[in-house]
Chain A
Amino acid sequence: MAEQQRGKLKIFMGYAAGVGKTFKMLEEAQHFKAQGVDVVIGYFEPHNRKDTIAKAEGLEIIPRRKIEYRATVFEEMDTDAILARRPQICVVDEYPHTNVPGLGRAKRWEDVELLLDAGIDVLTTMNIQHLESLNDQVWQITGIRVRETIPDWLVQQADEVVMVDLTPRALLNRLERGVIYGLEKAERAMQNFFRESTLVALRELALRETAHEVEHRHVNCQDDSVSAEGIRRYAGKHHKILVLVTADPESAMLIRRAKRVGDFLDAECFAVAVQPTGDLAGLPAADREAVERHLNFARNLHLETRILEGEDVARSLVDFARRNQITQIFLTRPGGRGWFRMFGRDLVHRIVGLAKDMQVVIVSERKPAPH
């Protein structure tokens, strides 16, 4: 038998609850069903919305799996049942969802990966604020740290990303009429996430991100052909990025930012920590745990990681950079928190001095505006 062809993934991208992602997704599912394609709903969140529920009518729903956790029963997508049912297309709402412990998979996107691997096409939804590399910008805009994130490579590997657009004014209208949340919750929401300026900014982020995803796809699919655009894109300097990871909590922000820039420049990214022993054994427990967590975070975002051996952080970093044809080094801005503050300024200074043939990017934390 021929090797199983991987299913296709389509993401309906929005910028807030209530813009109509689920509705649009179900509409497409209905469209496929009408054409005789075998479509099922693996998971969808009706949120008590009349229109959305009506759109699901007539579509087969795979019953959810019930899971007890700390004496409460939760419902999650029953991936095994979907795999056994083996539809052509499966509708899976809320791509960034975190599963309740006990399923064997921490994140819904891991369930989606299983479906895709089994050759099932998946339609899914997400909001821009859940994209990992935008976490700091979203914090800056909304004042909210989004905890459920989707690594960027998952969105990049989607076959299609479609923007589900609605103007903030129309969205606020719907919210006021209680269409999205019910009236009391709506009032609270409007004081937080649903401020008009916040919505406008998130919408802009979503539009730009979708534009980038669209461009990424048409540029990549003409790799073989000799087009002017292709030449322009690849004739330029090939970039390689190196990120210095420390125990400083700002390392996560730095990794996100470096990876985002790297993705837009088609650059490879490395994340390294530098220790005299070449491992983390010499560090106090808290620092060791922090560095490990940051390196792990980098790996999850598909950065290659190393622990370099060296007494002199600046010199080891720049030596590594030179050996690996790095063109850009990313550092956090000194004056941050923790131990880094002590000699951070000196470190940046020395790295800039040593890395004479490279660009050095000093990344600053994006703090939310006081609202």
Chain B
Amino acid sequence: MAREISQKKTPEDFLRECQAEEAADTKGRLKIFLGYASGVGKSFRMLDEARRRRERGQDVVVGAIQPKVPPEVEKLLQKLEVIPLKAFGQDSAIDVEALVRRHPAVCVIDGLAYENPPGARNPTRWRDVDELLKTGITVISSINIQYVAELRNQVEAITGKHVTQTVPIAFITSADEIEIVDAPAEQPIERLPEQQVDAAKREQQLSKLRELTLVLAADVVDHQLSTYLECHGIKQHFGAQERILVCITARANVQEMIETARTIAERFHGELMVAYVNQPQISAADQAALEEKLAIARAAGARIQILEGENPVDALLDYARSRGVTQIFIGHSQRTGLWSRILGNPVDQLIRRSQGMDVRVFPQ
């Protein structure tokens, strides 16, 4: 799920992000309320935050809000300054020029995924927002999980509905703050009378969307955590997410290891990685076997890493530590290979030195 961002970053990525964080002083901050369906209360949360900021003396305006809002949202809206949308033919878009001229400290803009009509300044609303941010205006916005571009297929599989207007996940991850508006997919306590199959199916769908939303938010938060730790020069990786590293060799019984790893990664909404330590002299047969095993790993959606190093255990542990791995999977064989004679049994070594990680030994 949302694998693009659940994976750990390279040091260069971090450097760029740290620099971006420093540059952020002149840029407005982006805060996104993320929901799993319409009607969970995102508009209310956005405007309630706007109200609180105004009460604290910040200059807040509303740049866009849904055309139809519930009465409690309407009440909040009446107390705020609204910059009207600009008409383009039958349709309308936010008035970027007017907002930049007015230059408030904070601007509320609903419906990030909205597609602008022809003639508007930018093709999509999220690009309008990006522009406002660059002028130093802080934006409070909201989006439903359905409209995240990279999750479109997953959402479509759940709802059966095709969505055309989307926002790239990178824009959402770039938000300074993301807050999830979670409410249960049903109101179990109200004990509604037995409803039709359709309603039950709808609840199922909502529940799945809710799960997807929570995981996306967790992935974004995980990314923020890594960035924060890296930027502050903190090496320690917290185990807030399960990260599984499967260590394979040409002779390993990979099927069971990958199968188990994939199941655990899925259930924990974690990350699956596979590592292989290059060996100097490998026979053609072993090379072919290895390729086959790597193909299995790739098919399971694992991120694959080929490692170099004199001592394979060092190489594996260094890599595991740098990636915040919580579980290492390794095959155990009774045979004594070349490694074992020189270095002692690598499984033994790995167990002894894997402080802070679980080691799962598989029969071979």
Interface residues of chain A, those whose CB is within 8 Å of chain B, are 8, 10, 32, 35, 89, 121, 123, 137, 140-141, 159-160, 162-167, 169-170, 196-197, 200-205, 207-208, 210-212, 214-215, 217-218, 221-222, 236-237, 257, 261, 264-265, 328, 333-335, 345, 348-349, 352-353, 355-367, 369
Residue B308 at the chain A interface, CB threshold 8 Å: no
Residue B51 at the chain A interface, CB threshold 8 Å: no
Q: Please tell me if the beta carbons of A333 and B351 are within 8 angstroms of each other in the complex.
A: yes
Task: Given A196-B228, A207-B221, A265-B263, check contact A352 B179 (CB 8 Å).
Answer: no
Partner of A200, one of B221, B236, B332, B352: B221
Interface string of B227-262 (1 = CB under 8 A from A): 011001010101111000000000000000001100
Q: Please tell me if the beta carbons of A204 and B347 are within 8 angstroms of each other in the complex.
A: no
Q: Please tell me if the beta carbons of B361 and A352 are within 8 angstroms of each other in the complex.
A: yes
Interface string of B27-51 (1 = CB under 8 A from A): 0000100000000000000000000
User: How many of chain B's residues have a CB under 8 angstroms from any CB in A?
Assistant: 61
Chain A residues with CB below 8 A from B356, complex form: 140, 364-367
Question: 10 closest pairs, A vs B, by CB?
Answer: A369-B236, A211-B214, A207-B218, A218-B207, A204-B240, A167-B177, A264-B267, A163-B182, A204-B221, A165-B180
Q: Could you write out 21 A-B pairs with CB less than 8 Å apart?
A: A10-B188, A140-B239, A160-B184, A160-B186, A163-B180, A163-B182, A197-B229, A204-B218, A204-B221, A207-B221, A211-B218, A212-B269, A214-B214, A237-B259, A265-B263, A345-B348, A357-B363, A360-B332, A360-B360, A360-B361, A361-B361
Task: Given A10-B184, A334-B351, A334-B352, check contact A264 B268 (CB 8 Å).
Answer: yes
Q: Which residues of chain B (114-145) have a CB below 8 Å from chain A?
A: none
A4 smallest CB distance to B (angstroms): 14
20 additional A-B pairs beyond A197-B228, A345-B352, A359-B363, beta carbons within 8 Å, are: A8-B189, A8-B191, A32-B190, A159-B189, A160-B186, A203-B221, A204-B218, A207-B180, A214-B210, A217-B207, A218-B211, A222-B204, A257-B358, A264-B267, A345-B348, A356-B363, A358-B363, A362-B360, A364-B354, A364-B359
Residue B334 at the chain A interface, CB threshold 8 Å: yes
C-alpha gap A200/B237 in the complex (Å): 13
Partner of B189, one of A32, A140, A352, A367: A32
Chain A CB within 10 Å — which of B185, B189, B234 has the most?
B189
Chain B residues with CB below 8 A from A121, complex form: 189
B101 smallest CB distance to A (angstroms): 29
Q: Please tell me if the beta carbons of A361 and B359 are within 8 angstroms of each other in the complex.
A: yes
A/B pair count, beta carbons within 8 Å:
172
Chain B residues with CB below 8 A from A362, complex form: 351, 354, 358-361
Task: Given A8-B189, A211-B215, check contact A261 B264 (CB 8 Å).
Answer: yes
A229 smallest CB distance to B (angstroms): 9
Q: Please tell me if the beta carbons of A264 and B238 are within 8 angstroms of each other in the complex.
A: no
Q: Please tell me if the beta carbons of B214 and A207 are within 8 angstroms of each other in the complex.
A: yes
Closest to A169 in B: B177
Residue B178 at the chain A interface, CB threshold 8 Å: yes
Q: Please tell me if the beta carbons of B225 and A162 are within 8 angstroms of each other in the complex.
A: no
Task: Given A201-B225, A359-B260, check contact A165 B181 (CB 8 Å).
Answer: yes
B157 smallest CB distance to A (angstroms): 10
Q: Please tell me if the beta carbons of B217 and A165 are within 8 angstroms of each other in the complex.
A: yes
Chain A residues with CB below 8 A from B229, complex form: 197
Chain A residues with CB below 8 A from B191, complex form: 8
Task: Given A165-B181, A201-B238, A335-B352, check contact A215 B211 (CB 8 Å).
Answer: yes
Chain B residues with CB below 8 A from A35, complex form: 190
Secondary structure call for the B interface: mixed
C-alpha gap A8/B189 in the complex (Å): 6
Residue B222 at the chain A interface, CB threshold 8 Å: yes
C-alpha gap A68/B50 in the complex (Å): 47
Task: Given A218-B211, A360-B361, check contact A200 B228 (CB 8 Å).
Answer: yes
A253 smallest CB distance to B (angstroms): 11
Closest to B184 in A: A160
C-alpha gap A72/B351 in the complex (Å): 51
B57 smallest CB distance to A (angstroms): 13
Partner of A361, one of B179, B263, B358: B358
Q: Please tell me if the beta carbons of A364 and B363 are within 8 angstroms of each other in the complex.
A: no
Chain A CB within 10 Å — which of B207, B214, B229, B268 has the most?
B214
Partner of A265, one of B210, B264, B361: B264
Chain B CB within 10 Å — which of A163, A212, A334, A363 has the most?
A163
C-alpha gap A201/B234 in the complex (Å): 14
Closest to B222 in A: A204
C-alpha gap A325/B80 in the complex (Å): 65
C-alpha gap A237/B263 in the complex (Å): 10
Q: Please tell me if the beta carbons of A167 and B178 are within 8 angstroms of each other in the complex.
A: yes
B258 smallest CB distance to A (angstroms): 13
Q: Please tell me if the beta carbons of A162 and B183 are within 8 angstroms of each other in the complex.
A: yes
Q: Please tell me if the beta carbons of A352 and B347 are within 8 angstroms of each other in the complex.
A: yes
C-alpha gap A197/B234 in the complex (Å): 10
C-alpha gap A215/B182 in the complex (Å): 14
Chain B residues with CB below 8 A from A367, complex form: 355-356
Chain B CB within 10 Å — which of A32, A162, A208 has the most?
A208
Q: Please tell me if the beta carbons of B269 and A10 are within 8 angstroms of each other in the complex.
A: no
Closest to A221 in B: B204
Q: Please tell me if the beta carbons of B225 and A218 are within 8 angstroms of each other in the complex.
A: no
C-alpha gap A313/B224 in the complex (Å): 46
Residue B8 at the chain A interface, CB threshold 8 Å: no
Q: Please tell me if the beta carbons of A359 and B204 are within 8 angstroms of each other in the complex.
A: no
Chain A residues with CB below 8 A from B176, complex form: 169
Partner of A204, one of B177, B241, B352: B241
Residue B321 at the chain A interface, CB threshold 8 Å: no
Chain B residues with CB below 8 A from A360, complex form: 332, 360-361
